[in-house]
Structure 1
């Protein structure tokens, strides 16, 4: 008996209940989310590996549901898509409770303070207090960045067992963003292992020249890291030694306050 596209057999490695069409629809949303100025039908089809006819069906469905608007040939996400993320955050009051501690930390250091969770190969920002100093990188709640080149990503990856971390690194797509980016898998393993032992990670200009960050884990009652907390600054303003001496103690105190909300 022939299957419709929605009922097609699950891809290799997926369970029998896996719905391939839903996966493709979500990939369309993700692709549009990475292109704030919009994408054409051809762009969407090419990025995801769909036929134009299939891509058109997904786009028109999202258009009818209100998640996408059309401007001539371009398809652009609408604010309605924010409802998906807002629902996630509103059901996790820890980030609302964490805001005072993050604001105080940002005020003390006059720098941006963020929290993120691990999602696949990326960290996703779930809370942020922007500092008064202007930073070149534009980060908002929902921003995704590669875990391997971020301080929060490394403290979260340090929660993995050595075997799991080796497996993660083997399957990871490692890209060089700057001349300082660590791309050797063994060197990355050592950096992440250092984060596990020391309880913090520093990433210095690996994602963007001039940008430096330090992160500590946020842990649950069982000691598992459920998120990372970081401070971002300009590399020219502070040394690694000063980050450890002056910034790290304040971050650990802020993390302790946030963890109290999570475990209470």
Structure 2
């Protein structure tokens, strides 16, 4: 089966007869294996030429491993949060031990955003980053401090390891992180983790507001971010459902095609 996938990836629209000949298997066995792969979405059968190409399950597997599928899967959730709150909304993912801002959505007629899409770094000073570091547990916190240090961006930035550890323990308990002008003046953020079925942090959703508005808006904005994170977690759960069958069982039980 892996040989078939590899062969098809290099020769799109290749037919079953060519695959059987090149891989030195019987045509009936080849059809049976191709049928299983098509049923599971790893291959697609092209009706006109009768050939095969890689199916949608292949990029889904890669997306599960890298987390990149989150960027497109939860985009509507981020957009809705921005519209509902009237504030900039963000998706953050952990990449190389640092937060990367994978999505930024803005409400209509909004001023320029404080943290742009593609921004990478400053995890200890951003609510999104705090959620992701805290989600990595004590070892993740230790590794972050050792690898990246605690750079000072404003007078409010946490720059002491013990202080950061205490702060992130609170983040884990509350399931919510905030930063109040820790990365940039007049920029305040709220973030909540996106969790998988095992309770592991796979990303973070957040919104930003100004320092002037933060105290008065926190009570209203925090539930909005929590709701969006639950919706994103539900999407993650749906995306990570097992494939419809067990390939080994199908290989044994499915009758030959041909």
TM-score (norm 1): 0.60
| CA shift for structure 1 position 248 | 1.2
Distance 2:83 2:151 in 1: 34
Q: Is the 8 A contact 1:135 1:234 kept in 2?
A: no
| CA shift for structure 1 position 229 | 0.6
Runs of 5+ consecutive residues of structure 1 not aligned to the other structure: 1-86
Distance 1:135 1:201 in 2: 23
Higher mean displacement: 220-229 or 124-133: 124-133
Which of 157, 161, 169 is the aligned partner of 1:193? 169
Q: Is the 8 A contact 1:121 1:146 kept in 2?
A: no
Q: Say whether 1:210 aligns with 2:186.
A: yes
Q: Say whether 1:250 aligns with 2:224.
A: yes
Map 1:75-224 → 2, pairs under 5 A: 92-131=68-107, 132-135=109-112, 137-140=114-117, 142-224=118-200
- Three-state SS of the structure 2 residue aligned to 1:238 is helix
Q: Which runs of structure 1 show a deviation greater than 3 angstroms over 4 or more consecutive aligned residues?
A: 87-94
Distance 2:235 2:142 in 1: 33
Q: Is the 8 A contact 2:136 2:201 kept in 1?
A: no
- Three-state SS of the structure 2 residue aligned to 1:208 is coil
The aligned length equals: 175
Q: Is the 8 A contact 2:88 2:113 kept in 1?
A: no
Distance 2:102 2:200 in 1: 18
Instruction: Choose between structure 1 and 2 for higher RCO, CA contacts under 8 A separated by at least 6 residues.
Output: 2
**1:219–1:178 Cα change, 3 Å:** same
**1:113–1:179 Cα change, 3 Å:** same
Q: Deviation per CA, 1:68-113: give whole Å up to 9, x if none.
A: xxxxxxxxxxxxxxxxxxx979994433231222121111111110
Runs of 5+ consecutive residues of structure 2 not aligned to the other structure: 1-61, 239-258
Distance 1:106 1:159 in 2: 24
Q: Is the 8 A contact 1:117 1:227 kept in 2?
A: yes
Distance 2:146 2:177 in 1: 21
**1:185–1:133 Cα change, 3 Å:** same
Q: Is the 8 A contact 2:63 2:69 kept in 1?
A: no
Distance 1:231 1:225 in 2: 18
TM-score (norm 2): 0.62
Q: Is the 8 A contact 1:216 1:252 kept in 2?
A: yes
